[in-house]
């Protein structure tokens, strides 16, 4: 089973902290949520959109992104995640 996570990382280069915007079983709903948050935050109208629905904008000095990520559930794994601030 797959769910879709919509979030924004505090720092572009790592996931040391995030703003979470929802988890969806429907990919289209996740993409709509990402776009809604993008517009609400008044991020640039010129943006790149990935195949999965993530939104990105770069202006030379800074960047912003709202990410849509596939998460598989009922899946065994062993991993270590280390973050920093």
The per-residue pLDDT for range 26-65, each reduced to its tens digit, is 999 999 999 999 999 999 999 999 999 999 999 777 889 9
**Could you tell me which of 3, 8, 15 has the C-alpha nearest to residue 57?**
8
Residue 50 located in a structural domain: yes
Q: For residue 12, is pLDDT > 70?
A: no
Q: Taking the complete model, does pTM exceed 0.85, yes or no?
A: no
Residue 77 located in a structural domain: no
Chain-wide mean pLDDT for the chain? 89
Quote the domain boundaries for residue 51: 2-72
How many Cα atoms occupy the beta-carbon half-sphere of 53 within 13 Å? 21
Instruction: State the Cα angle at 46 between 60 and 31, rounded to 5°.
Output: 115
Confidence of residue 84 (pLDDT cuts 50, 70, 90): low
pLDDT at 85: 52
Residue 32 located in a structural domain: yes
């Amino acid at each position: 089973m797959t769910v879709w996570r919509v979030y924004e990382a505090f720092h572009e280069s790592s996931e040391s902290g995030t703003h979470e915007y929802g988890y969806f079983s429907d990919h289209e709903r996740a993409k709509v949520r990402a776009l809604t948050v993008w517009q609400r935050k008044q991020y640039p109208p010129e943006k790149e959109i990935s195949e999965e629905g993530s939104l990105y904008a770069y202006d030379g000095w800074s960047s912003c992104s709202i990410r849509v990520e596939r998460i598989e559930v009922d899946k065994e794994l062993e991993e270590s995640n280390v973050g920093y601030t």
